Amino acid sequence: MRREYVLVDNEELKKITPKSGKAMEILAFVKQQQIDPIYLDTSYFTLPDKDADKAYQVLLKAPEDTGRVGIAQVTMHQREYTVFIRQRNHGITVHTMYFQNEIREVQGYGEKRKNLQIKPQEIKLAEQLIETLSEDFNAAKYRDTFQEPLHALLESKRKGETFTERPAPRRAQAIDMMDALKKSLRETARSGKRPRVAGEHAAARNAKRLAS
């Protein structure tokens, strides 16, 4: 494949740099609950520039009091982004935004199944499991369980050592979602401990069997 290169100097780039290349341009303020999280991309913590602390605090406080999130344009890394400006833990967090045309629609998503009947006891069973597993969110509980052994593998290879592989977890067989819920709740009743649904990943993938 033939590649072609074009040289562009700084002066030419300056001529096409939008206003947001020099300063963040605020476009609107919208209610936070109107923003679907699917539009959120990368998050950035922001700090005030020198002698701009007052403006920073105003931009932090006013949207917080009104329950609004700012929408702005800013240029970073030779690209213009539309971003959300949100108050978080007494500071301003900026989230880059996915555009509407970047979110692909999936045929059949969200459509109601015809002739599908869900029994009240099935809903009740799911609600019982949700209640049993309910807790306050703690981000520290969740981590990438692949990166740790990957780093250990790379480090052992760097040192010329033999890497001791962990036994691979047994793949959960496909199960019926209702059976999994019932079993989980029975175990909870006996032990008083928080349950873990056996084969929960397979159950999630095969939840459609509940509708069959």
- Domain of 84, CATH number, reads 2.40.290.10
Q: Do residues 18 and 89 share a domain?
A: yes
Q: How far apart are CA 7 and CA 11, in angstroms?
A: 12
Reduce the DSSP state of residue 44 to 3 states and report it.
strand
Q: What's the start-to-end Cα distance of the chain, in Å?
A: 50
Q: How far apart are CA 123 and CA 93, in angstroms?
A: 38
Range of the domain at 180: 117-132+173-212
Q: Do residues 51 and 127 share a domain?
A: no
Q: Do residues 121 and 94 share a domain?
A: no
Residue 193 falls within a domain, yes or no? yes
pLDDT in tens, 75-118: 887 778 899 999 999 899 999 999 999 998 888 888 887 788 88
pLDDT in tens, 137-182: 888 887 877 887 888 888 888 888 776 666 655 554 544 666 777 7
Q: What is the mean pLDDT of the chain?
A: 78
- Contacts of 73-80 with CB under 8 Å at 24 or more apart are 73/18, 73/19, 73/20, 73/24, 73/25, 73/27, 74/20, 74/24, 74/25, 75/17, 75/18, 75/20, 75/21, 78/13, 80/18, 80/20, 80/21
The total of structural domains in the chain comes to 2
With pLDDT > 70 as the criterion, what percentage of the chain qualifies? Answer: 75
Q: Which alpha helices (DSSP H) does the chain contain, by range? A: 10-16, 53-66, 120-133, 147-158, 177-191, 200-205
